[in-house]
Structures are given as structure tokens and as C-alpha cells.
């Protein structure tokens, strides 16, 4: 039977689990793929770090970059992380030296995926990154292979488990943002520095990768990104009363030959499928022709789910399945027009915290009329003890630019107590 020599670089949460999995399942993987996966070298930052497996001199590489140079290595699994520094150097070197690469690094692929893909194609080696998008959810391979027949029109979903856990716990456990974040960190659902999860950047990186796979385009950095930091318990309760849930969603869609990429908290109907995805789960929804709507749901992170995706990539290489990293040749990938969401239409939830004084409501509604935004529903919740009032307005479909103008104009009024809020509604 053929053999494939592998180097794993990065032995943290993911790398150490993958290493142990490959040792334990070598025989069955060889049978399934008709090729034996051999771990030739492993490397990480520090040899002295305590790990739950033994490391021999023979397998340890002192300089991780030697993996990219070694004639003995066919495939490098990069599990260091980060768009720059050692991960970048390793993956560039590996592909230039005609080694296959498997990575879980969304930051690297979202930033350098196009140039890396060109090197891989030129050198006829694989660059696989299933694990970089939604952990164990098999969306990348589904787009490249199972859904190949389709013209994709829209991809959207929940791509970040931490923010989904926070929003659903605020809702189900009646807790505020900080309480839930503290618990998420305590139980290991959120990293000690959770900023990329909470500010939407993690979802944005995954969405850029998905967009280019769905639309056969190069990676495009025109993307609107908002996180969940400003969502409070009152928004969640208001949404509930109106028949909605709030989720952090990523969307990429073609409308009139233009692509809109956006990440933001979204009000979605309680009866919708995506509203039922709670906790750390991820879900990706694809609208395509002729398949219709497809949904893949599952564990979006963690060592076991991520290893499932890495093994899928490694198996593809074991079987000798040399593919274009982004599904089609770089020569065929397109520069599609990506648009700002300012021009897109949304219905929206706007919330204004105001002094409870005369004339406020008419002042606000006048601003809506001046910006050609029509109102579908108004709810006013006075707080007599504080002399304030919360005004919630649901709009009809309106230009995003106009909705933002209202937020700015009303935000400057004398009666405003807190920065107004805008949360877009998705009725699909």
C-alpha cells in the first residue's frame, strides 16, 4: 500500500487531538483511503510544554520550518493559527516546496487564500481548509464536491458558537451579557480574549472564504461587520415580544449581479429554522439552483469536531484527489462586483432611550418621514421612576443608508439618553 508522510505543526487544542486520533486510527484510515498516513514529524513552539503524549527525539522537529524543507514530508498540517508570523511562513514555504497543506486557520485563508491557492495550483499540490470554516460542519467539501451542480445564490447562517451561546443564554437563562460571557469563559466556550468572536471578525473571515467558494470569485474584503457587544437583555426581551430571536448571522448573497457580504446581529422569526439553533452549534444554509435550500448543522469548534474536518482533508489527499483549493482554477475565478450594504433594503428594529417629555415621539417620527422610511409598528415603554421611555420602532423595508441616517440624526437630539440602536430584520 502507498504511504503518505505527514508533519503536524502546532500541538495545542487541535493539534494534540489530531495527533492522538491519527495514531489510534491509522489502520482504518489506511483501509478507507488505500494509503497509509504516517506521522513523520511533529513540532510546536516549546518541546518542554506539558502534553498528554510522549514525544521522542526522532519525531520532534526543533525548527518547525524544517517540515517545509524535508524531502521526507508530503503533507504539512498547520495548526499554529494567526494570519501572520509562523503559520504564514510555514504554509507559504510548504506550498512553494511542493508539499500538500491542510490547515484550520481561517485568518490565514481569509487574508492570503488567493495567493496561496495560486502557488498550490502552480505546484499541483493541495491546499485544504475544511476545518477553517465552522469546525466539524462539512461545508467546504460540500460546496466543492456534493453541491458542484449548483449555482449558489445565497449562503448564510450561524458561524460562531461563542456568540450564539451568549445570545441564546441571555434569552433562555434570563441573564445579562457580562454574566453569560463570564460563564462562557468558565466553561471553555469563550477564549480568554474573546474579542474576535464578539466583534464579528471571526464570522467575517469564514464568510469571505464561503463567498469565494459559492460565487467562484476571489476573496473580497468589502464586508459589513458588526458584533454582539451592543446587544442587551432589553433588546432580547423586546425581540421576544415581537415574535423574533436575535442571532449573530453572516450573509453573502447575489442581488442584481452584485454580492453583498455582511455580518451583524439579526432579528429572525421565532418560527424560522435558524432561530432554533442554540448554544455553541453552527448552521450553514445554502440556497442554490437546482438543489433548493440545503442546511448543514453541527459543532462549530472544539478539538473533536475540528479533527473530523481535518481528517476529511487528509483523507482526500491520501486518496490522491488533487483539487483546486477554491473549487475551480484560479484562472477561472472572477472579480465580481461587491456592494456596500448601504444600498440594500432591510426592515429594521430601532430602539431609542429618551427623556419622557412632550413632543419626543412626533419629533422622532418626523425624522423617519424626512428620510422616507415608513413605520410598521411603534411600541413605547415608559419608565416612570427614571422619567425616561424606551421607544421601539419596526420599519417597512428601507434603504440601509436611510436607516443609519435616522440613527445619527435622532442620536443628536436633546431628548436622547443613550446611543440609539439599529438591528436589521431578516424575514427569510
Q: How far is the CB of 282 from ligand NAP (least distance, A)?
A: 10
Q: Which stretch, 172-180, 243-251, 299-307, 341-349, contacts ligand NAP (CB under 6 A)? A: 299-307
Q: Which stretch, 103-111, 150-158, 250-258, 333-341, contacts ligand NAP (CB under 6 A)? A: 103-111
Applying CB under 6 A, which of residues 2, 31, 32, 49 lies at the interface with ligand NAP?
49
Choice between 196 and 350, CB closer to ligand NAP: 196
Catalytic residue among 206, 208, 245, 247: 206
- Coil, strand or helix at 85: helix
The DSSP call for residue 132 is G
User: How is residue 152 written as a grid cell?
Assistant: 449558489
Choice between 15 and 288, CB closer to ligand NAP: 15
Q: How far apart (Å, rounded) are the C-alpha atoms in residues 100 and 107?
A: 19
Q: Which stretch, 38-46, 148-156, 277-285, 336-344, contacts ligand NAP (CB under 6 A)? A: 38-46
- Angle (nearest 5°) at CA 71 between 66 and 76: 60
Applying CB under 6 A, which of residues 26, 86, 232, 338 lies at the interface with ligand NAP?
86
Indicate if 206 belongs to the active site: yes
The answer to whether 252 touches 156, Cβ cutoff 8 Å, is yes
Applying CB under 6 A, which of residues 35, 40, 41, 64 lies at the interface with ligand NAP?
64
Instruction: Based on the shown chain and the rule CB under 6 A, indicate whether residue 63 belongs to the binding site for ligand NAP.
Output: no
Q: What is the x/- site pattern for ligand NAP, positions 107-136, by CB under 6 A?
A: ------------------------x---x-
Q: How far apart (Å, rounded) are the C-alpha atoms in residues 327 and 133?
A: 15
Q: Among 21, 26, 67, which residue's Cα sits nearest to residue 44?
A: 67
Binding residues among 194-253 for ligand NAP as defined by CB under 6 A:
none
Instruction: Based on the shown chain and the rule CB under 6 A, indicate whether residue 44 belongs to the binding site for ligand NAP.
Output: yes
How many other β-carbons are positioned within 10 Å of the β-carbon of residue 382? 13
Q: Beta 375-383 vs 398-399: how paired, if at all? A: unpaired
Q: How far is the CB of 78 from ligand NAP (least distance, A)?
A: 8
Instruction: Based on the shown chain and the rule CB under 6 A, indicate whether residue 15 belongs to the binding site for ligand NAP.
Output: yes
Q: Which stretch, 7-15, 269-277, 367-375, 401-409, contacts ligand NAP (CB under 6 A)? A: 7-15
Residue nearest to ligand NAP (CB): 12
Instruction: Based on the shown chain and the rule CB under 6 A, indicate whether residue 69 belongs to the binding site for ligand NAP.
Output: no
Question: Cα 65 from chain centroid?
Answer: 29
- Angle (nearest 5°) at CA 131 between 125 and 132: 90
User: How is residue 19 written as a grid cell?
Assistant: 495527533
Instruction: Based on the shown chain and the rule CB under 6 A, indicate whether residue 298 belongs to the binding site for ligand NAP.
Output: no
**DSSP string over 341-368:** GGGSEEEEEEEEEEE--TTHHHHHHHHH
Name the burial class of residue 175, with classes exposed (0-12), middle (13-18) and buried (19+) by CB atoms within 10 angstroms of its CB.
Answer: middle
- Coil, strand or helix at 418: coil
Q: How far apart (Å, rounded) are the C-alpha atoms in residues 155 and 136?
A: 17
Instruction: Please identify every residue annotated as catalytic.
Output: 206
Contact positions vs ligand NAP (CB under 6 A)? 9-15, 43-46, 49, 64, 79-81, 86, 104-106, 131, 135, 301-302, 306
Amino acid at each position: 500500500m502507498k504511504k503518505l508522510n505527514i508533519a503536524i505543526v502546532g500541538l495545542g487544542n487541535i493539534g494534540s487531538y489530531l495527533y492522538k486520533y491519527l495514531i489510534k486510527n491509522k489502520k482504518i484510515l489506511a483501509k478507507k483511503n488505500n494509503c497509509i498516513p504516517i506521522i513523520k514529524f511533529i513540532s510546536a513552539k516549546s518541546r518542554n510544554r506539558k502534553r498528554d503524549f510522549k514525544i521522542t527525539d526522532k519525531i520532534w522537529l526543533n525548527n518547525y520550518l524544517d517540515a517545509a524543507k524535508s524531502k521526507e514530508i508530503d503533507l504539512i498540517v498547520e495548526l499554529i493559527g494567526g494570519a501572520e508570523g509562523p503559520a504564514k511562513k510555514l504554509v507559504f514555504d510548504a506550498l512553494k516546496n511542493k508539499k500538500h497543506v491542510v490547515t484550520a486557520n481561517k485568518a490565514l485563508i481569509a487574508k492570503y487564500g488567493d495567493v496561496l491557492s495560486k502557488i498550490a495550483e502552480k505546484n499541483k499540490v493541495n491546499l485544504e481548509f475544511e476545518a477553517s470554516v465552522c469546525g466539524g460542519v462539512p461545508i467546504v467539501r460540500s460546496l466543492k464536491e456534493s453541491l458542484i451542480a449548483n449555482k449558489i445564490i445565497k449562503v448564510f447562517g450561524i458561524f460562531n458558537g461563542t456568540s450564539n451561546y451568549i445570545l441564546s443564554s441571555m434569552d433562555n437563562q434570563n441573564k445579562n451579557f457580562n454574566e453569560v460571557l463570564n460563564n462562557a469563559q468558565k466553561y471553555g466556550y469563550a477564549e480568554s480574549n474573546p474579542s474576535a468572536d464578539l466583534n464579528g471578525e471571526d464570522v467575517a473571515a469564514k464568510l469571505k472564504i464561503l463567498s469565494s467558494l459559492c460565487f467562484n470569485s476571489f476573496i473580497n474584503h468589502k464586508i459589513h461587520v458588526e458584533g454582539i457587544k451592543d446587544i442587551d437583555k432589553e433588546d432580547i426581551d423586546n425581540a421576544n415580544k415581537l415574535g423574533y430571536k436575535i442571532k449573530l448571522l453572516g450573509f453573502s448573497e447575489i442581488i442584481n449581479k452584485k454580492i453583498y457580504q455582511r455580518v451583524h446581529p439579526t432579528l429572525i422569526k421565532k418560527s424560522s429554522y435558524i432561530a432554533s439553533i442554540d448554544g455553541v452549534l453552527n448552521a450553514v444554509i445554502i440556497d442554490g439552483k437546482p438543489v433548493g435550500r440545503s442546511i448543514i448543522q453541527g459543532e462549530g469548534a472544539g478539538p473533536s469536531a475540528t479533527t473530523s474536518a481535518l481528517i476529511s482533508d487528509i483523507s482526500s489527499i491520501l486518496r490522491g484527489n488533487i483539487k483546486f483549493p477554491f473549487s475551480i482554477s484560479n484562472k477561472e475565478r472572477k472579480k465580481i462586483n461587491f456592494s456596500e450594504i448601504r444600498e440594500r433594503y432591510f426592515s429594521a428594529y430601532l430602539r431609542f432611550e429618551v427623556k419622557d417629555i412632550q413632543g419626543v415621539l412626533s419629533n422622532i417620527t418626523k425624522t423617519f418621514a424626512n428620510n422616507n422610511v415608513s413605520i410598521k409598528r411603534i411600541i413605547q415603554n415608559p419608565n416612570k421612576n427614571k422619567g425616561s421611555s424606551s421607544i421601539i420602532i419596526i420599519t417597512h423595508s428601507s434603504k440601509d443608508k436611510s436607516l443609519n441616517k435616522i440613527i445619527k440624526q435622532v442620536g443628536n437630539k436633546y431628548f436622547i439618553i443613550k446611543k440609539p440602536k439599529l438591528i436589521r430584520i431578516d424575514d427569510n
